[in-house]
Amino acid sequence: QKEVEQNSGPLSVPEGAIASLNCTYSDRGSQSFFWYRQYSGKSPELIMFIYSNGDKEDGRFTAQLNKASQYVSLLIRDSQPSDSATYLCAVKVAGGSYIPTFGRGTSLIVHP
């Protein structure tokens, strides 16, 4: 049973701070890792994906992957109230699988 775990939150950070969202996974064969943002009442939106150990940066977002420790993180720098949403982590194993396993998401609140 593949498991992807996220703290449900809410994680509350002040505007301008760094928000750190974490995700752990159980399957060591996991290869691809995705972060989605979901605003209330809306559909999930892909914001980042990462395949290799280390960091991947895209604007204010940085994904960090540590396969040895089986976790992936999303850092949001200079957090804005518009970043308030639920962030979903998804993990896909290696090989021909095209179906990811989703975590239940972490609610982020950025307060002015």
By CB under 8 A, name the binding residues for other proteins: 31-32, 34, 36, 42-46, 49, 51, 88, 90, 92, 98-100, 102-105
Closer to other proteins by CB, 68 or 98: give it.
Answer: 98
Q: Which is nearer to other proteins, 17 or 102 (CB)?
A: 102
Q: Going by C-beta distance under 8 Å and a sequence separation of 6 or more, which residues neighbour residue 61?
A: 35, 47, 48, 74, 75, 76, 77
Shortest reach from residue 60's CB to other proteins, in Å: 20
- If the CB atoms of residues 26 and 51 are measured against other proteins, the closer one turns out to be 51
Complete DSSP assignment for 95-111:
TT----EE---EEEEEE
Which DSSP string corresponds to 36-88? Answer: EEE-TTS--EEEEEE-SSEEEEETTEEEEEETTTTEEEEEESS--GGG-EEEE
Smallest distance, other proteins to C-beta of residue 80, A:
21
Measured from the CB atom, the residue of 49 and 71 that comes closer to other proteins is: 49
Contact 25, 3 (CB under 8 A): yes
Q: How far is the CB of 38 from other proteins (least distance, A)?
A: 9
- For the CB of residue 43, give the shortest distance to other proteins in the complex, in Å: 4
